[in-house]
Amino acid sequence: MTLALDTLGRLESEAIHIFREVAGEFDRPVILFSGGKDSTLLLHLAIKAFYPAPVPFPLLHVDTGHNFDEVIEFRDRVVAQHGLRLEVAKVQDWIDDGRLQERPDGTRNPLQTVPLLDTITQHKFDAVFGGGRRDEERARAKERIFSLRTAFGQWDPKRQRPELWNLYNGRHRPGEHVRVFPLSNWTELDVWNYIEREGVELPDIYYAHEREVFLRDGMWLAEGPWGTARDGETLVRKTVRYRTVGDGSCTGAVESDAADIHAVIAEVAASRLTERGATRADDRLSEAAMEDRKREGYF
Amino acid sequence: MSDLLRLATAGSVDDGKSTLVGRLLYDTKSVLADTLDAVHRASADRGLATPDLSLLVDGLRSEREQGITIDVAYRYFATPKRSFVLADTPGHVQYTRNTVTGASTAQLAVLLVDARKGVIEQTRRHAAVLALLGVPRLVLAVNKIDLVDYDEVTFSRIAKEFTAHATALGYTEDAVVEIPVSALAGDNVVEKSANTPWYSGPTLLEHLETVPVEPDPHDAPFRFPVQYVIRPRTAEHLDYRGYAGLVAAGTVKPGDEIVVLPSGRRTTVTKIDTADGELTEAAAGQSVTLLLADDIDISRGDLIASAGNAPTVTDDFEATLCWLAEKPLRPGARVLVKHGTRTVQAMVTELRDRFDEQALSSVDSPGSLELNEIGRVSLRLAEPVPLDDYSFSRRTGSFLVIDPSDGSTLAAGLVGAPLPELDAESCTEDGDTAAQDNRALVSPGP
């Protein structure tokens, strides 16, 4: 009998260890949960970490109002199934009462930061779990597993604490909080391989389906409450799937016939594009788009 | 063979470390087309004729502006033989703390030197840090070999000097490998180079794919810091009381007799639980939940250990600190010590010595320990804690020193003196010529 863990076993064990550290050291942790694959995986690992007891944290979704219906339906079903508590911060509420203004380009992804920080302050959350992975983007590659944020939610890459062995320092002053990233060391392929191994259910839109889409800046966007094709753009019916699921106005679909998990894994393994580069308009704004958003308090 | 290798890179500014890492990612086809396009565009914008592979890894705005790496970055790549987690650590002296970070979990470190400069102060400092933190294997990548016309004599001289230094730090010869490379041109990184016919060893990637990886110490005595007590209090699990944690060392089976520290109470393990069902055995690295025969008082911060071989419980011990903070450590400092899952108040009662990584010698009773300095101290704790020596277990022999006022991490702590052979006498009196030579190069300290 071999006792050596394989790669997925090591990653799972590390993530469970991180969840338990936070449960042991923080008063008011919360898990960011959008119904996307990374946050669904996060929740799956949290459930395993505290089995057979319930997950000792609530969930928080910052809802841009530009979500895919299938994802919101999935989110609510998962929450009910596991008897979890879900807090929803609606970007629309912040727009309605004037705390936020709609951007000229109609994209709401960058607008999530203020509702997120307001909600963290209001509920006095001191640890906020996110599904960020270091392989996603260059600025994220520099992120710690425990990432201290100021009372303004800001990330200062030059003042990060050294992270030694598997000893995490979560000490913070009143008003500050810590972002925690249990999936830091996972790659996109690890996530999919683990989802297959564990049989984790995901929203259908991660798998190939037919959808009306139009081409903008090299990405296939779907129509929705965030808008539709403009002049010169044509709606066409395509077989597509989503590699990331975020705000509908800036999340593109990829043409794909991968209708089940095995086909998705084969496709991801052979892909020549990163998931964010292929499908996220918000990361294309500049060379340091992610770093700038993180400094402001985004994930 | 393990399918995962955790490695760290270290080197001085301008040794080409980011370029080497970029080359590894590029030549293993771990870089995807859109990322590469962005690098091509940014390189062209800067008027460069060929893509600057360091842009693949230098992710922060100020890093790209200054053309240097500031913070440790983690990279992931895989070949058919192995997956790699690479901690790319910066070379500037003021960022040595990041080398400590990367080294704390590494199974192997790649140290870079510029073939034109050879082994320099930073190389020796980094090697000492890697040895101290117990990184089992080293690779010296002699980079920019193209700029010395692929000269074998230059390479051999650097390799010999480095081997002598590493040996003095306690490495055996088979734990250290030197490879002549050009990260810029790609020589011996992934592909064997035609420019170095005199070199018969592996390329860097071949070595990384085949080097033996020391497994987690399964034959060591069992150690289990309790993270969290799981009490569902549901109808189905009314009396369930499980102790959750990650096995830090050794193995455990149902029926094993254990001792809970610091209380010293003994009992036996009745069940090893996980969300995937019960286990017949758990080993180092696994997150599990232990159920015990007796209902004794156990909470977060306690250590469960094998009854037959438990660590000493003490409130007074000697340790080695890598000081990582701007403000210096002075005798009498009040700090917090985070060891395993327990954080206790502590006082640094004495600065015993400071390690001079250049001369491989020690300076007795320094007045302070400054940023990036390494020294032995005496610590007194507010309550007794079970401690293993770092040389016995990286997981249960390590601790953080934390500033009680602002919560920042001040130092990496290692129980005991992991580099005992580095006393001034033992290093120089045995006629170690490398150490003597190094010493001659060092200017007198303040």
| Domains (range + CATH), chain B | 4-210 (3.40.50.300), 223-306 (2.40.30.10), 312-428 (2.40.30.10)
- Give me the residue spans of the domains in chain A: 7-189+288-296, 203-283
Q: What is the model's pLDDT at position B214?
A: 72
Whether residue B58 and residue A138 make contact (CB cut-off 8 A), yes or no, is yes
Q: In this structure, what token pair is assigned to residue B129?
A: 């840090």
Q: How far is it, in rounded angstroms, from Cα B153 to Cα B150?
A: 9
Q: Which residue, among B62, B66, B76, B82, would best test binding to A if mutated, counting the most A CBs under 10 Å from its CB? A: B76
Question: Residue A46: its chain B contacts at CB < 8 A?
Answer: none
Q: Which residue, among B3, B55, B74, would best test binding to A if mutated, counting the most A CBs under 10 Å from its CB? A: B74
Whether chain B has a CB inside 8 Å of the CB on A151: the answer is no
Q: What burial class does residue B84 get, using C-beta atoms within 10 Å of its C-beta: 0-12 exposed, 13-18 middle, 19+ buried?
A: buried
Q: What is the model's pLDDT at position A2?
A: 42
**CA nearest to B382, candidates B331, B340, B346:** B346
Whether residue B400 and residue A169 make contact (CB cut-off 8 A), yes or no, is yes
Greatest CA span in chain B, whole angstroms? 76
**CA nearest to B335, candidates B252, B417, B399:** B399
Lookup result for tokens 């129980």:
B415
Question: Residue A169: its chain B contacts at CB < 8 A?
Answer: 338, 400, 402, 407-409
For B385-399, b/e burial (b = at least 16 CB within 10 A) is: bbbbbbbbbbbbbbb
> pLDDT below 70 — which residues of chain B?
1-2, 13, 30-36, 49-51, 53-70, 91-95, 215-218, 420-446
Q: What is the model's pLDDT at position B428?
A: 36
Mean pLDDT by 10 residues, chain A (299 residues): 72 97 96 92 97 95 87 94 93 87 78 89 95 81 86 75 91 91 92 94 92 83 78 87 78 88 86 60 53 60
Q: What is the model's pLDDT at position B53?
A: 66
Question: Residue B76: its chain A contacts at CB < 8 A?
Answer: 134-135, 185, 187
Question: Residue A141: its chain B contacts at CB < 8 A?
Answer: 57, 59, 73-75
Tell me the CB-side half-sphere exposure of residue A130, using CA atoms within 13 A.
Answer: 21
| A106, B98, B332, B364 from B367: Cα distances, Å | 61, 25, 11, 9
Comparing CB atoms, the residue among A17, A160, A165 nearest residue B71 is A160
| H helix intervals, A26-53 | 37-50
Q: Which residue of A has its CA nearest to B236?
A: A52
Q: What is the model's pLDDT at position A280?
A: 55
Whether residue B300 and residue A24 make contact (CB cut-off 8 A), yes or no, is yes
Q: What is the model's pLDDT at position A217?
A: 78
Whether residue B64 and residue A287 make contact (CB cut-off 8 A), yes or no, is yes
Provide the CATH topology of domain A7-189+288-296.
Answer: Rossmann fold (3.40.50)
Q: How far is it, in rounded angstroms, from Cα B415 to Cα B397?
A: 5
